[in-house]
Structure 1
Amino acid sequence: MESPNAELMSALASLFESGKYSDLTIVCGAKSYSVHRALICSRSEFFEGACRNPFRESETGVIDLTEDDPEAVEHMVSYLYHLDYLRNSISRRSSRRSSQLSSPLSRRFSTQQKPKKFNLAMVEDPLLATAYAANMSTPMTPPDDQTNQFDTGGTSKLPDSPMADQFMEDPFESVNIETSVDVEKPYLVTHAKVYAIAEKYGISGLKSLARKKFAHQLELHLDSAEFPEACQEAYETTIDTDRGLRDILIQTFRAHRDLTLRKDVELAVRDTPGLAFELFRMASGLPVTSL
């Protein structure tokens, strides 16, 4: 017999797979996703505003995100129904749009990753919180104590970051962030894109999860050829005051000084003023601040 939590997650996945009762469509280029207003709008101020106010989206029931990265949109939608992304392909309900819509190429990642186990008691999500409260009395707020989100392991204790950490502890403490299938590929750029789109559309849980995945994979794939591009992605898709990914990268450079000797990293730093400025301040022994 399924537990109440597993039953709820299964029901959400089934709604998404079948498209049953959907009353909203998210479009991104050649792909579309049949979703549910109650679920989407309760977790994003952007989508709530688009559906509540007298905009074209509220009248047509279609929200066009074609200007966003198709891969990031796909992972965002996956998270809204599965509390995770980089799962098996979710293209089951995606349909080819008619020729009047623009059709940029979509980049898709498909893995055979096994579903992850979640401690739903720690998830601060309105829909899941309501369902959980009916079965348990465990408080929904995660503990106040902070843990090191980026433990480099095997190195001496790093200096305290001069920037205050703007993130509360991630509620997904019981999530096995990556399985062996993800170890083969870093997905650093993917996690940076997901982080950026989560910030853009105000989905805090997804933003926190993407940050954790980014840090974890960076620790495993520091020598990856994807690292320089991930640095650029993190600095070019977030505002200066958003320290989520930037602090992780600066702390990485602080712990691994030889990174600056890599030619590909040097080229990325040259092309990324924000990163170059912060590395200059770090090398000078000054507090790292935004431009």
Structure 2
Amino acid sequence: MEQPNNELMSALSTLLEAGKYSDLSIVCGSKRYAVHRAIICSRSGFFDGACSSPFREAETGIIDLGEDDAEAVEHMVHYFYHLDYLSTNNPRSRRASARSRAGSLRPTSPVSPSSPMSPRSPTRRRAKKLNLALVEDPLLAQAAASVTRPRYDPLTPPEERENQFETSLADKIHASQEEEEDEDEEVVDPFEFVAPEQQPNVDVPYLLVHAKVYALADKYGISGLKALARRKFSTQMAHHFQSAEFPPAIQEVYDSTVDSDRGLRDVVTQTFRANPALAHRKDVEEVVKETPNLAWELFRMAWGMPV
């Protein structure tokens, strides 16, 4: 069954990339997605209603989602044809997400492996130590020769003496080369080395992205995408609850979902329960002050009452 499934997913991916046979367009901001009603409408009650009712969208074949988050819409469209988003097979989507968060979030750690201040940064090379033993001063060399001149056995043939000198010089050169290689062994050329991507994709926090995708899936009735976003959010929360993306993500959860929807809210409250030190963070404190529903649930949880 693996080969037929791969064939089907490859065909769906080609339909999205080429836009062939498209009979519907989803517009969000400056982006337009050429999609197919048979694929979109069969997965979402909202799109089914928009295309089957006497609305303008059904006549023009254009659905404008300009009020929604552009990145979340991109992930939603990608899910329709790939059954996933922000996956290892979607590097372009990951780059777009990284660019969208670059200007609004601080780094998750003071020094990251790719930071210019990191000791292993490709753009920062370690300064080599000057080996004074290799610097030759004629006066010092002459003085040293008069004191430490080697005494050769008078019975040693001249050719063997010469070989002994050449061997000693070769050893010095070889030792010097090994020392230089040890000093430069941590220098990485970014044009020659590409770090392999780790599985699962939890190296970068996408808490805010998954929260927005979850809310969008709920809005348009895409149950599969909503369950996938919750699973990804829960996995990311376990790895990145200490990151700078945690406060805006939990605020997005409580601002974009209703009180009865416990999909992401339970993940947030369980994270606070397992990590009480989060309450001492200033950025978390500010979000709790601005989010009454979150503050109320944390209050009930602190007093042992059900949330």
Identity %: 66
Report the secondary structure of 2:97's partner residue. coil
Q: Which residue of 1 aligns with 2:24?
A: 24
| Alpha-carbon offset, residue 284 of structure 1 | 1.1
Matched, 1:280 2:299: yes
Matched, 1:39 2:39: yes
Q: Residue 285 of structure 2: which of 266, 279, 282 is its match?
A: 266
Matched, 1:238 2:257: yes
Q: Which residue of 2 aligns with 1:256?
A: 275
Rounded Cα–Cα distance in structure 1 between residues aligned with 2:27 and 2:205: 27
Q: Which amino acid aligns with 2:56?
A: R
Rounded Cα–Cα distance in structure 1 between residues aligned with 2:233 and 2:27: 26
Residues 208-229 of structure 1: CA deviation (Å, up to 9, x unaligned)? 0000000101101121010011
Rounded Cα–Cα distance in structure 2 between residues aligned with 1:210 and 1:82: 14
Q: Which residue of 2 aligns with 1:88?
A: 91
Rounded Cα–Cα distance in structure 2 between residues aligned with 1:21 and 1:279: 51
Q: List alignment gaps of at least 5 residues for structure 2.
A: 100-196
Rounded Cα–Cα distance in structure 2 between residues aligned with 1:78 and 1:195: 14
Q: Which amino acid aligns with 1:36?
A: H
Task: Tell me if structure 2 keeps the 8 A contact 1:89–1:110.
Answer: no
Normalised to the residue count of structure 2, the TM-score between the two structures is 0.65
Q: Which amino acid aligns with 1:88?
A: P
Q: Residue 247 of structure 1: which of 251, 255, 266 is its match?
A: 266
Residues 262-281 of structure 1: CA deviation (Å, up to 9, x unaligned)? 11111110111110010000
Residues 108-129 of structure 1: CA deviation (Å, up to 9, x unaligned)? 3269xxxxxxxxxxxxxxxxxx
Q: Which residue of 2 aligns with 1:199?
A: 218
Task: Tell me if structure 2 keeps the 8 A contact 1:24–1:35.
Answer: yes
Residues 150-202 of structure 1: CA deviation (Å, up to 9, x unaligned)? xxxxxxxxxxxxxxxxxxxxxxxxxxxx9448333111000000000000000
Normalised to the residue count of structure 1, the TM-score between the two structures is 0.68
Report the secondary structure of 2:247's partner residue. helix
Equivalences for residues 55-134 of structure 1 within 5 A = 55-86=55-86, 87-89=90-92, 108-109=96-97
Matched, 1:217 2:236: yes
Residues 69-121 of structure 1: CA deviation (Å, up to 9, x unaligned)? 0000000000000011112326xxxxxxxxxxxxxxxx93269xxxxxxxxxx
Equivalences for residues 148-163 of structure 1 within 5 A = none
Q: Which amino acid aligns with 2:220?
A: Y
RMSD between aligned residues: 2.1
Q: Which residue of 2 aligns with 1:147?
A: none
Rounded Cα–Cα distance in structure 2 between residues aligned with 1:32 and 1:89: 16
Query: Mean Cα displacement is larger for which, 180-189 or 203-212?
Result: 180-189
Structure number with higher helix proportion: 2
Moved over 3 A (4+): 178-182
Alpha-carbon distance change, 265 to 42 in structure 1, aligned in 2, over 3 angstroms? same
Structure label with greater radius of gyration: 2
Task: Tell me if structure 2 keeps the 8 A contact 1:88–1:110.
Answer: no
Report the secondary structure of 1:244's partner residue. coil
Report the secondary structure of 1:212's partner residue. helix
Q: Tell me the number of residue pairs that the alignment of Structure 1 and Structure 2 aligns.
A: 207
Rounded Cα–Cα distance in structure 2 between residues aligned with 1:2 and 1:261: 49
Residues 228-287 of structure 1: CA deviation (Å, up to 9, x unaligned)? 111100000011110000001111111111110111111110111110010000011111
